[in-house]
Structure 1
């Protein structure tokens, strides 16, 4: 059976001075720090390739912050960016609002807070996992077509879809406390496959030393 790896790379910090939960809104670009994080991710994957990893395929969410995060890796590895809508951010009722906690006291939002396990305020966790895993399998197979057994793909996505996909891969419940997600900016969640079987989940933080100065809004 063919082994393969798919790396899920979260985007870098976004320029967001108003602290908006930006979700799928357009034109939220990387900040200067976010671009440094994207460069750091590219260095990480180039280092992996120099150590023998066959990283042969790159895809990204259509949202601008994901595309901008993918660009340095594309340049470093000589890869084209394939855009895939299946790996974009989750839908969220509170998208576009700043200081979301202050809005939770407003009655018009209460119907969206009834079921935190689904969740009722956005795209169901299970739906996110299904679309992410469909994309992961397709890009895994494309990497294998390009590079043969042992090939690897990088998918640039967003915190919540990556996190619930990891929880599903590890056999954990999908509902969770957003404050406890292990999916920092430009972190890499790696899924190792042996044929169709997912055999390991690994995690790395190429920008760990940059995180202290980064803005990181839960749900964004």
Structure 2
């Protein structure tokens, strides 16, 4: 049976001096460091291409930070960027707020903490995993059409949807402690498919050297 790899690439660091949870808000661009991360990921894939392992299909979330992360790889590999709204960031009640203990303790937010396992403050983890996996399977099929057995695709997305997808693929419960997510900026969570079935999940950080000191925002 044919084997295809789909790389779920988290975007690079975002310019966010006010420390807000930007969620699906428009016009949050990569920082200077974020652009360097995106360039390093492109170099990673270009090096793989020299060994005959070039991705043949590139998809990105419609959000600015994902599109900007995809651009250097598109240029390096000569690929068009296909935009897929199914791999967008998770919906979140706290979008646009600077997250702090004082903010979270405001009574107007209390009803959103009723069910942290769903979670009640945003898009259900299961819904995220399902839409992401549907997009990954479609990318798997398109990559196979373009490159045959052993083809690769890249989906540029966001931390929580990627993490939910990984946990689902690994058969793990979807609720979790956000502090324990293994999904750093510009990281790759790779799903290996045989047909439409995920047979392996792996993780790597092509831009690991740039991670120390990088700014992060609490996950959705």
- Within 5 A, what are the aligned runs for 1:60-139? 60-139=60-139
Query: Does residue 161 in structure 1 map to residue 161 in structure 2?
Result: yes
In the alignment, structure 1 residue 57 sits paired with structure 2 residue 57: yes
Match of 1:184 in 2: 184
CA contact (8 A) 2:114 2:120 kept: yes
Whether the aligned pair in 1 keeps the contact of 2:99 and 2:218 (CA below 8 Å) is no
Stretches of 4+ aligned residues off by more than 4 angstroms: none
Q: TM-score of the superposition, structure 1-length normalised? A: 0.98
Tell me the alpha carbon deviations over residues 104-148 of structure 1, each in whole angstroms, 9 at most, x when there is no partner.
Answer: 111110000111100000000000001000000001101111111
3-state secondary structure, aligned to 1:16: coil
Q: Closer, same or farther in 2 for the Cα pair 1:212/1:54, shift >3 Å?
A: closer
Q: Secondary structure at the match of 1:161?
A: helix
In structure 2, the gaps of 5 or more residues are none
Shift of 1:100: 3.8
Report the Cα distance in structure 2 between the residues aligned to 1:30 and 1:176, rounded to whole angstroms.
Answer: 27
Q: How well do the aligned residues superpose, as a CA RMSD in angstroms?
A: 0.9
| Matched positions, count | 220
Once the two structures are superposed, the pairs formed by residues 21-40 of structure 1 within 5 Å of their partners are 21-40=21-40
Matched residue of 1:212: which SS? coil
For normalisation by structure 2, the TM-score amounts to 0.98
- Segments of structure 1 that go 5 or more residues without pairing to the other structure are none
